Amino acid sequence: MVGSRAEAPRTATKIPVHPSTSLRGNPWELNIPKPFLKPGAFHLQQIQTISTVKLERRLGVLTNQEMDRVRSALRNRFGIRVALQPFWHANDVMESCVMAALRDLVLEVQETAVVEGIARFYDQHETQWLPDAVADVLGQLRKLAPDPAGSRYQLSIELTPPLDPTEQPFWDVSCIKEGDPDRCGLDLSPWDEWLALRVPQSLLDKMTAAEIVAHCVWEMTFYGFTQEKIAAFRAELECSVKEID
């Protein structure tokens, strides 16, 4: 959250308080038992600012898995794209990192890697027009500004078993919203909303950026390789629904 002490000798940082108290089992408690901590839990409603001078003496270290739990809990607590991911460096200063948005990945990936991912995941090795189509879609996406409305959702990509055991598993590309158990489809969503989707670290741990973008590009172009075609289909679908009502 701050630079090194050499660069900023009078700096402060924010930490979740770990009060010595009995656990109540409420959602704001994060219990990570460690020998150097008194009985109790990190309290996610008690985030305090302290001088980094008081961080000079390190009592102990959390493992990477335990820090992942802290990061995830803080992300859920604040419901924002920028999520605290504390970790200790040699200078004992707590820092933070930014949770990726899909646009970050779109700007990073190579077109050839995305094409290879689509061909592999969706059996499109013989599709000759695929490289040009992917290049065109990525070009369009890289010119768009993300719509903040999409940042309320988190991207989910899972290999899902079929209902019919005689069929093959399929890739489910969807999104979830905090507090909502239902998954939302994305194939008719505007592309600028796609770009603002939050990409969880758990997904980045399982897939490369190119593989994630490959799944998203294939899903977002289900009804067409331009936003105009998708918007036209969406409008036609909405008219049909109104007629039924």
Give the contacts of 163 (CB within 8 A, at least 6 positions apart).
Answer: none
Give the contacts of 200 (CB within 8 A, at least 6 positions apart).
Answer: 99, 154, 155
The C-alpha atoms of residue 118 and residue 213 are separated, in whole angstroms, by 9
Residue 61 has a pLDDT of 78
Residue 236 has a pLDDT of 85
Buried b (16+ CB within 10 A) or exposed e, 202-236: ebeeeeebbbbbbbbbbbbbeeebebeebeeeeee
- How distant is the alpha carbon of residue 169 from its chain centre? 24
Distances (CA, A) of 181 to 178, 184, 233: 8, 10, 28
Residue 7 has a pLDDT of 47
pLDDT digits (tens, 9 = 90+) for 31-57: 777 787 777 777 766 666 666 666 666
pTM (whole model) above 0.75: no
What residue spans define the domains of the chain? 1-99, 102-244
SS3 20: strand
SS3 204: helix
Element (H, E) at 228: helix 227-244
Residue 99 has a pLDDT of 66
- Residues of the chain with pLDDT below 70 are 1-28, 44-57, 64-65, 68, 71-99, 244-245
CATH of 1-99, one of 2.30.30, 1.10.3470, 3.30.70, 1.10.10: 2.30.30
C-alpha neighbours within 13 Å on the C-beta side of residue 201: 18
Residue 25 has a pLDDT of 59
Give the contacts of 170 (CB within 8 A, at least 6 positions apart).
Answer: 159, 160, 162
